[in-house]
Amino acid sequence: MRLRHIPGAEEAIASSPYVIQQPAEYRGRFHELFGNHNPIRIEVGMGKGRFIMEMAARNPQVNFIGIERYSSVLLRALQKRAELELPNIFFMCVDAKELAEIFEPGEIEKIYLNFSDPWPKDRHAKRRLTSPDFMKVYDQVLCGDGTVEFKTDNQGLFAYSLEAIPEAGWRIDAFTEDLHHSPMAEGNVMTEYEMKFSAMGNPICKLIASR
């Protein structure tokens, strides 16, 4: 994925009070950062942050951490975050592969994967966020009854995920290939991409997985 670099993005992120600068230092004690022992949910690849900020606003009893590896994208989220008064959300600029080094086993209640890069070429399959390699990482940080929720408009990626996730030892608890016309739509919060693709008439796929 190639993104236009925004000059000053790294500096803005490094000085932002909304970004956890040394996340591994909070491993096992993120409750100190939030000032409470509420459950923690993370979004991997949060993009511009519409979804996770809306989730934080709707669920003040839950702590949220948005993870975005691209600084220019995270900068957009910071600009939105500055307009909101939400004590229960922070961001990280890290790679999802590092999650097990950042969070203790069982520290996370739920992981959201929304409109992840499909990496369509077979040789790039390991980079997909629903690949067995990444599911192993999620297994290390989720609590015993923790879940992964995945949404995409990419039919190929969804079909791959329906096979790859069980192969990694997980079970698919629920899924739909047309989210907005299914019972799973109740309480759904849309991302920027979801709004765009829905307006184009593209059906949205969703699954929920657990161990």
What is the predicted pLDDT for the residue at 123? 95
Contacts of 62 (CB under 8 A, 6+ apart): 38, 39, 40, 41, 55, 56, 88, 109
What is the predicted pLDDT for the residue at 8? 78
Q: Which residue has the higher pLDDT, 100 or 8?
A: 100
What is the predicted pLDDT for the residue at 42? 98
Q: Considering the entire predicted model, what is its pTM?
A: 0.95
Q: Could you tell me the end-to-end alpha-carbon distance of the chain, in angstroms, rounded to an integer?
A: 31
Q: Which of 95, 117, 139, 173 is catalytic?
A: 117
Alpha-carbon span 194 to 181, nearest angstrom: 14
Tell me the pLDDT tens digit for each residue of 41-76.
Answer: 999 999 999 999 999 999 999 999 999 998 988 998
Q: Which residue has the higher pLDDT, 5 or 134?
A: 134
Alpha-carbon span 38 to 164, nearest angstrom: 31
SS3 37: coil
Alpha-carbon span 196 to 146, nearest angstrom: 29
Q: C-alpha distances in angstroms, 132 versus 65, 102, 166, 168?
A: 23, 20, 9, 5
Q: Tell me, what amino acid is at 210?
A: S
Tokens read off for 25: 């230092």
Residue 182 pLDDT greater than 90, yes or no: yes
Alpha-carbon span 62 to 36, nearest angstrom: 10
Domains of the chain: 1-24+31-101 (3.40.50.150), 105-211 (3.40.50.150)
Alpha-carbon Rg for the chain, nearest whole angstrom, is 16
pLDDT band at 9 (very low <50, low <70, confident <90, very high): confident
Clarify whether 117 is annotated catalytic: yes
